[in-house]
Structure 1
Amino acid sequence: MTTSSSNEAPPNCARHVAVIGGGLVGSLQACFLAEKGFEVELFEAKEDIRTRKYASGRSINLGLSHRGREALKLVGLEDEVIRNGAVPMHGRMIHSLSGKTSAQAYGKKGQNVLSMDRRRLNETLLTAAESYPNVKTHFRHKLVQAELDKGTIVILDRNTDREFTLRPDLIVGCDGVNSAMRAALFEYGLINYSQEYLTHGYMELHIPAKDGKFAMEANYLHVWPREPFTMIATPNPDGTFNCALFLPLEEFADIKIRGRQVCLEFFREHFPDAVTLIGEQELTESFIANRACKLMSIKCSPYHYKDKAVIIGDAAHAMVPFYGQGMNCGFEDCIVFSEALDKFDGDLAKVLPAFSEYRSPDAQAMCDLNLYNFKEMRSLVNSRWFLFRKYLDWFLQWLFPKRHIPLYTMVTFSRIRYGEVVRRWKRQTKIVNWTLFGMACLSVVVTGIFIRRFVNLE
């Protein structure tokens, strides 16, 4: 399937679309729909992020990779987004307990993930959406009710404290992890749903610039693997790093209760170089003042109700951040939905179920891979076996570039379907493991034969 570049809606396509949620995916989806000639109204419950002095909520930097870049490229935004504050990360920089560092490349030379500021990217996408004459944005407008059989939604205008009813041809829910549109689907359809909280949470910290420059090597995702917890840091254009500390929630609470000195001792024991980078006073003050946020993974299926409504992005598949694919997966949703519109000439009775059937298993596979990567980041990256397998994967890719592709490369630097990524990864792992086992057995047999002949000669 390919995305149409036509500015006219397909012949059977609905004309009026309500997009619920003006975050990253909602604003990009508005651009995709506007490109096809739909009349789009975007409703965001909060105030315009571009007018806020401080944007509440998550601020961990995003990792923009191939899938997300492809989506941005299709609406002509890739170059603008990259110019607007992207810092390339070529791999992981692993910080040992002794303070030594070692680099682990993401992939081939030239392959990188872009560290992006969430707010800046959201502002860029909203401005791009508003540049279309067929897009209207409404801030402080909250969805309070959806009668999907009738195809109507009730919106509360928080600016006037008045409600009004709208009957669009299609409702697209892009309203995040606590999605009101997903809740509406539950009321009207048979939705399979699972929600999993991790025992770990995360807290945001900050590494300042040193004399106006990066205090660490700039073009890496910095990782402090300390089973059962970890810390990561991503670069900003101004020379600072955004950090995220991942700990069991009980441990966060325990350290906070016991106070600043215990906090400082904890960091000195587990992240000694980070104490110097952040500063003792800034570190303890931030830890005590900041709250630990929960981590949650959500899966559901299907994503639609008849030809009336559909959910995409975090509303459909919230995932923990350990593979950096949450945003990229949501952006790829926009591509897949656009391709479905083209394939079925905009017939929503076919488009919506096709999108659900195609996308749900892939997003669920990615949710699982994120959980696997958390284990990798907090412990496996220190394993000699893990490093051996990583180098072996690169060697095998060099030998068989079309038949053996490392897991991270398939996820981050391709548009191979996530479900197919998992299948290929498991198959490749099985083949490599059996090959290594066979080689080990062969070496034992050869060694045994050699020893036996040597003994016989004696």
Structure 2
Amino acid sequence: MARDGAGRGPGGERVAVVGAGLAGCLLAVLLGRRGVPVTVYERRPDPRVAGAERGRSINLAVSARGLAALEQVGLRDHALKRALPMHGRMVHPLGAAPNFQPYSADGERAINSISRAELNRSLLDAAEATPGVTLRFSQRVTGVDAREGVLLLEGADGGTVTEPADVVLAGDGAYSAVRTSLGLDVDADFLEHGYKELTVPARNGDFALDPDALHIWPRGTSMMIALPNLDRSFTCTLFWPKPDFDALDTPERVAAHFAEHYPDVAGLMPDLAADYARNPVGSLVTVRCWPWARYGDGALAALVGDAAHAIVPFFGQGANCAFEDCIEIDRCLDEAGGHWPRALSLYQERRKANTDAIAEMALDNFVEMRDRVSSPVYRARQAATHALERRLAGRYVSRYELVSFSTVPYAEIPARIRRQNRILGAAALTGAAALALAARALRPALRRRGGR
């Protein structure tokens, strides 16, 4: 596969990363630091010049996994300086006062609200500053021919042009053109819900809502959330069944709907009707694909991030999970001694079960956020969970804690939760049996005492 020539990696490979989003940029930095020359192809103009696409990007909730990855390229502290910590959920039930639900038992741990566009700019800057990394914008990759070892790009005249590549790492999103061209086995499961972004601007120069929380308006089959921004605004995202968006087809209907269903925030959105009309409705998809890598005579191609395993955003783990992919590729290259076929084989084998696990947990968390969080029973259960975490520190850990505040592999979390619950159930039964035995043993003495 490798041929003689300049601008190659240590093994002679010409490496292409498709997509200059979060994962593509992080991966380019990691590879560049290994001494592997990388060319990054991005279909958009440089967002640092042209600005970010509006209305399509859900704010990021970066947590332990993402921060650990950013630490590897020296961006953790920089990201945190531009982030707002959210220590819990502020739940806004309809017809009742908001209630705050901390994420951790001690109330100290937080997930971090970060602008996707701003973090992308920071990673682009880091990639551009890394020796051996070349960024090429307004380059639409339409596929890869692994047999011939070439990338397929859209030419200026609408035709196809080719460029040689020995290793292609596709981070081109949930609707990956590279994945389509490779003919991999893909299952794309779309929710009936879509999403639309709105804005709560700053009010008198300050936050209109509590900035220390991720706000949720649960409405059973739908919801709205809001995350704080550094300019003291909030980015709100509606998650509604798609037909519901179409039903609000006039400014009057938009205003009336929000006054009825989101009364405590409707008055904080002076541009509500205009935002609602202007911003598009996005789709929510879970992508399951296998294999993630295709080995041709001319090139290796592998999928990264959403291209391999897009998930719905309800656990805030999309970017965190994609960052873990990048770290795993870097680790596998170490273990494989830079041998790309072996490294990519290890990578897909290790990550597949983890990404399947977080995909299922994210879907379940949607039901929790839109419905369960407003239930008194749910709140009581969460209080009991936090009490157990405090009493059994390190031995009993909630699912949320394991997902958001640890780097325990996602695939290990469901089994650990089941094991914890079995032990807890056995302990409860043992305790109940002991109490019953003690009560039976005490009955004669109690009867004697009663007789005196």
TM-score by length of 2: 0.89
Residues 226/348 of structure 1: CA separation in 2 closer, same or farther (3 Å cut) = same
Deviation at 1:14, TM superposition (A): 4.9
In structure 1, the partner of 2:286 is 297
Between the two proteins, what is the percent identity of the paired residues? 35
Residues 413/14 of structure 1: CA separation in 2 closer, same or farther (3 Å cut) = farther
Amino acid at match of 1:152: V
SS in structure 1 opposite 2:140? strand
Aligned length: 438
User: Structure 2: where are the runs of 5+ without partners?
Assistant: 1-7
Is 1:272 the counterpart of 2:272 in the alignment? no
Q: 2:358 aligns with which of 358, 366, 385?
A: 366
Is 1:220 the counterpart of 2:213 in the alignment? yes
Is 1:242 the counterpart of 2:239 in the alignment? no
Provide, for residues 337-375 of structure 1, a one-character-per-residue CA deviation record: whole Å limited to 9, x for no partner: 111111111111211111111001110111111100001
Amino acid at match of 1:274: V
Is 1:355 the counterpart of 2:347 in the alignment? yes
Deviation at 1:220, TM superposition (A): 0.9
In structure 2, the partner of 1:4 is none
Q: 1:59 aligns with which of 57, 60, 64?
A: 57
CA distance in 2, matches of 1:78, 1:340: 22
SS in structure 2 opposite 1:334? helix
User: Structure 1: where are the runs of 5+ without partners?
Assistant: 1-8
In structure 1, the partner of 2:5 is none
Deviation at 1:323, TM superposition (A): 0.5
In structure 1, the partner of 2:144 is 146
In structure 1, the partner of 2:180 is 183
Pick which of 389-398 and 306-315 moved more: 389-398
Residues 197/67 of structure 1: CA separation in 2 closer, same or farther (3 Å cut) = same
SS in structure 2 opposite 1:71? helix
Pick which of 107-116 and 351-360 moved more: 107-116
Deviation at 1:450, TM superposition (A): 9.9
SS in structure 1 opposite 2:39? strand
In structure 2, the partner of 1:340 is 332
Q: 2:42 aligns with which of 29, 41, 44?
A: 44
Conserved 8 A contact 1:268-1:275: yes
CA distance in 1, matches of 2:165, 2:369: 45
In structure 1, the partner of 2:171 is 174
SS in structure 1 opposite 2:38? strand
In structure 2, the partner of 1:417 is 409
Is 1:19 the counterpart of 2:13 in the alignment? no
Is 1:427 the counterpart of 2:419 in the alignment? yes
In structure 1, the partner of 2:101 is 104
In structure 2, the partner of 1:32 is 30
In structure 1, the partner of 2:89 is 92
Provide, for residues 127-185 of structure 1, a one-character-per-residue CA deviation record: whole Å limited to 9, x for no partner: 11000120111111111341112322122354x86754322231100000110111122
Deviation at 1:292, TM superposition (A): 2.3
Conserved 8 A contact 1:319-1:367: yes
Moved over 6 A (4+): 437-454
Is 1:261 the counterpart of 2:252 in the alignment? yes
Amino acid at match of 2:194: G
CA distance in 2, matches of 1:212, 1:14: 56
Pick which of 301-310 and 213-222 moved more: 301-310
- Give matches, 1:366-445, under 5 Å: 366-432=358-424
Amino acid at match of 1:39: P
Residues 232/436 of structure 1: CA separation in 2 closer, same or farther (3 Å cut) = farther
SS in structure 2 opposite 1:396? helix
